[in-house]
Amino acid sequence: MASNLVLFQVASIVALIGMGLGWRGVMTKYAGFYDLPTAWSMMFWGILLGGFYGRLADEFVYKPYYFGNFPFTNIILFLGLAVIVHLILRRTRVRRTGSQPTTGWALGLSVGGLIGMYSIYRVLEVESLSVISIATIGLIALVSPRGYALIFCRHGYDMLQEKRWRAALKTFVFVMLLHLSLVAAMFDPRTWIFIIPPLILAERKAQDWVWAAVPRPARRRLRRIWSDASRNKSNEEE
């Protein structure tokens, strides 16, 4: 068995790769047309929040589940996270630019990355290397950051629609379901069947959520850029 330091290093590297992949797609598609400085600052605060929350979740969710003694009252942890996320997305700097969805994505990406790091560490600690354990580690690295990013992005979108505390309630429910499902998937790979399809469906909606954070003048410029790129591509093919 490798030392705890080696396991931690491996878990950290894999989790960082998952965070990097989570930034690709939605956020890179609209790069330069939303409040990028705020999004990057949320990555930093998300790492701090994710480290603190991940430690508590490891103590009050993973360990009780592992030993078969999970008290239902521990779900208060998920409610606390939802409230903190809500307060962060209510900050004047975020509301002034209407960047709640993109800020939520960046925050969720880093929080989910740190939670994934804790989860990967536990898989490496408990399981011997096999095809199933490697697949589990890879899926955690991909799903945890992106799953939390989708949830927090939707939270930000709902806030733009003036659905403030309803957004916090939905985040509480979705975070609880995602986290408990990830813990269950660490011991039973069949759980992934119930995790991946909802995330794929949410990914399609994420385009609309992030688009809502792009200012109207920027949307017109972005449409022109896409139109010019499509026209140039057609001309090249001819």
Distance CA 183, CA 191 (A): 9
Residues in CB range of 57: below 8 A, 6 or more apart: 77, 115, 118, 179
Q: Structure pTM? A: 0.89
Domain ranges for the chain, please list them. Answer: 4-237
What is the identity of the amino acid at 86? Answer: H
Q: Model confidence over 96-127: pLDDT tens digits?
A: 877 888 899 999 999 999 999 999 999 998 88
Q: Model confidence over 221-238: pLDDT tens digits?
A: 666 665 655 555 555 555
pLDDT at 237: 57
